[in-house]
Structures are given as C-alpha cells and as structure tokens.
Amino acid sequence: MPPSPRHTRILALLEEQGTVSVSTLADHLGVSLETIRRDVKPLADQGQVIRMHGAIGLPAVVGEAPFERRMRRNRAAKEAIARRAAASIADGQSVMLDTGTTTSFLARALLGHRRLIVVTNSSDIARTLATVNGNRVYMAGGELRSDSGAAFGMSAIEFISRFTVDHAVISAGALSAETGVMDHDLAEAEFGRAVLAQGRRRLVVTDASKFGQQGLVQVGAFAEVDELVTDRSPDGDLAAALLEAEVQVSVAGV
C-alpha cells in the first residue's frame, strides 16, 4: 500500500527532528491524538518508526547519544544561524567556541575559511576544523563528557584564560529578560562565562526556542554580550532587555 500524505509528513518531520511527541505531531498535522496513533501503527508495524512512551522516533535515532539527538533538533534554524555568524568572521581571525549544537554547526560553516585560530573545549569542533585550510586549533583539556566529547573543569577554564580572541562565541540553554543568558548545567555555564570574558567581540548563537526560557545557572547578563545571532526577532520583555543592554540582534533567514 502506498504511503498516505500524512505518513509522508510524519516521516519527513522525524527525518528533521529524530524523535517527536505524539501531541506535537497532532498539533503539527491538525488532527486528533487518536488519528495520529492510528497513523503511527502501520509505520511501527513495518519497522519504519519505533514507538516510545508518548512519542515516536526513527530506529537509527533512538540509540543515538543525547548530543547527536540535539543536533537534529531545529537543525534548519541552527544551520542558518551558523551561516550568519560565520559570515561575520574573517580569514585569519581567532575564535573561541564552547560546546553546543549551534556552535558545532558554526564550526561546519567555517570550513570554507582559512588560517583561523580556534580555541575550544569541544572535540567535535576541534576535529571539524583542525588540519584544514591552514587552521591552528587549540583544544582545552579536562574532564571529558561521554555524550558531547567536550572537556570541562578548572583545567579547561585555566587553559582558555591564556587566550584573547577576536570572537568569543557561546551557545545558550535559555534566554531570559530577567536573568540574561542561562544554561542547564553548572560546568557548561561556568565554561561559557569564561569564554565570553576572553573575546573582543562576545557573541551568543541560539535559536528562538530558547527565548523566554529559564535555565538552571546564569552564564551572564546581557550587558556581557555584544551580539545575538538567532533565527527570529525577539519580542516583548526579552526584546526590551536586549535593547537596554545594547545587544545587537542579527536574524538569520531560515
């Protein structure tokens, strides 16, 4: 039996996001939860998707590490943000990057650049940019995370504190009008704060899904940031807080 249009749309959404909740599917397709469950059953019976509690996923994705799954989430927006940020970095300049899915996409967007000096705690970013186009890559050491392959701890922070770079770029777990840039992990927040302190230009790259969210740990106030590159213009209290802190907002077209 040929796939129905809804089956095709379900599989296309999964290709983009890897896993998705049943309720999100229902909202996205404008149908009831019961209709989605009926649609999913033949796909699961054929092995095209795997059913989980309240969600479905592609078989190849369900076993992925958390960082790999996050790389799939909002991928188009993150790639557009990465291209916009990469366009503002010139050949031969120095850039410091923390670990994050958007900064990993930025590393890929920088593959056309030459003679970059790159400082990072991310093994993914280091592997992407090392040994190509005359780049020099400095990798911070420390406790290595199993999911992201990034190093954290005081030794990583002490290492990057030796550098002053043209562009200090961090990702963000949340952006709040009240508390500024936030993250959900203490070690990642501390490292991100240290990165911002080393840049002549301080840049946050994050997609609009982080707007108005609250993280666990503050990375820094908006006054400690020069520019935000994102995929949608902030509004309301968040836009007012960014304006007051004189943060330049660059919106990437997706």
- Element spanning 202, H or E: strand 199-205
Q: How confident is the model at residue 229 (pLDDT cuts 50, 70, 90)?
A: very high
What's the length of the chain? 254
Domains of the chain and any CATH numbers? 5-63 (1.10.10.10), 71-251 (3.40.50.1360)
Q: How confident is the model at residue 1 (pLDDT cuts 50, 70, 90)?
A: very low
Regarding pTM above 0.85, the answer is no
In order, the DSSP letters of 35-98 are: HHHHHHHHHHHTTSSEEETTEEE-HHHHTS-HHHHHHHTTHHHHHHHHHHHHHTS-TT-EEEE-
pLDDT 10s digits, 166-221: 999 999 999 999 999 999 889 999 999 999 999 999 999 999 999 998 889 999 99
Answer for the pair 153, 187: CB distance below 8 angstroms, yes or no: yes
- Share of residues in the chain with pLDDT > 90 (%): 64
Q: Which pLDDT score is estimated for 60?
A: 64
**What whole-number distance in Å separates Cα of residue 170 and Cα of residue 96?**
8
